[in-house]
Amino acid sequence: MMKPLLRVIFPERCLACETRIESGDPLCVRCHAVFPWLPEAHCERCAAPFAAPQGGCHLCATCLQGSYALGKVWALGVYRGVLHDLIIRLKYRHQEWLASPLADQMFHGWSGEGYDLVLPVPLHRRRLRQRGFNQAAWLARDLARHAHLQYDPLRLRKHRETVSQTELGREARIKNNATSFSVTGDVAGLTILLVDDVYTTGATLESCARVLQKAGAKEVDAYVVARAA
């Protein structure tokens, strides 16, 4: 009784375009149709979308050639269009409320089974003071809540500030992050899920995974909202 009444007083609106919607889906029909969901044809390790829509999952050329501390990467969609705009609103317009429905979509069809701990990719304290929040922590918190997993925003920290990585390639990013992260609690024997908003080159997640494995973590995977194509 209360839910229908609340919908009359506070009608639900599409996350992307804010059109009024009646269904429980967070997106309207139009935005749902153009949402850049991760295609079925993608790398089974790093979630890179393949150009050909058919072909299924297999390792991309980059993953075939390398050795990584980071295991499987899960991704909700590709970093473009509607999803790009939602992340920009979350990250730069302080719209924390978007984290919960995005995490809900991440959880849909994914059980989280096998993970002992969920950790956000941390920000350096100076960047955190400047921005006022860590969007990865919002997403990790809400995803852990949906999956009933343990969440700790402080187990992994970034103790060294790095230069902006926007224009850096993957290897340069890894070198930039090599000594930036540290573990502040026990992770020995744990299977850990890292959470971030966007996977670009994977260098930051790889750096975090290396530090966690060095501290004794059994396995480290990641879940991101969007995978850059």
CATH code of residue 161: 3.40.50
Instruction: Indicate if 17 and 108 belong to the same structural domain.
Output: no
Share of the chain above pLDDT 70, in %: 86
Rounded to the nearest angstrom, the gap between the alpha carbon of residue 4 and the centroid of all alpha carbons in its chain is 32
Is residue 182 within 8 A of residue 210, CB to CB? The reply is: no
Instruction: Indicate if 187 and 215 belong to the same structural domain.
Output: yes
> What is the model's pLDDT at position 52?
77
Instruction: Indicate if 219 and 142 belong to the same structural domain.
Output: yes
Taking the C-alpha atoms of residue 90 and residue 99, their distance in angstroms, rounded to an integer, is 7
Instruction: Indicate if 14 and 75 belong to the same structural domain.
Output: no
Mean predicted lDDT score pLDDT of the chain: 88
Instruction: Indicate if 74 and 103 belong to the same structural domain.
Output: yes
Q: Which residue has tokens 């889906």?
A: 25
Instruction: Indicate if 96 and 28 belong to the same structural domain.
Output: no
Q: Quote the number of domains for the chain.
A: 2
Q: Residue 224's closest CA among 85, 53, 102?
A: 102
At 68-89, the pLDDT tens digits run: 999 999 999 999 999 999 999 9
**Domain coverage including residue 4:** 1-34
Instruction: Indicate if 143 and 197 belong to the same structural domain.
Output: yes
> What is the model's pLDDT at position 1?
36
With vertex at residue 65, the alpha carbon angle to CA 61 and CA 67, rounded to the nearest 5 degrees, is 125
At 169-221, the pLDDT tens digits run: 666 766 667 678 999 999 999 999 999 999 999 999 999 999 999 999 999 99
Instruction: Indicate if 93 and 170 belong to the same structural domain.
Output: yes
Is residue 89 within 8 A of residue 98, CB to CB? The reply is: yes
Arithmetic mean of pLDDT, 100-125: 93
Q: Residue 132's closest CA among 170, 96, 86, 80?
A: 96
Taking the C-alpha atoms of residue 208 and residue 182, their distance in angstroms, rounded to an integer, is 8
pLDDT exceeds 60 at position 7: no
Instruction: Indicate if 15 and 53 belong to the same structural domain.
Output: no
Strands (DSSP E) found in the chain: 73-78, 117-120, 156-158, 181-183, 191-199, 219-227
pLDDT exceeds 90 at position 226: yes
Rg (CA), the chain: 18
Position 56 confidence tier, pLDDT thresholds 50, 70, 90: confident
Instruction: Indicate if 218 and 116 belong to the same structural domain.
Output: yes
Instruction: Indicate if 137 and 220 belong to the same structural domain.
Output: yes
Arithmetic mean of pLDDT, 133-144: 96
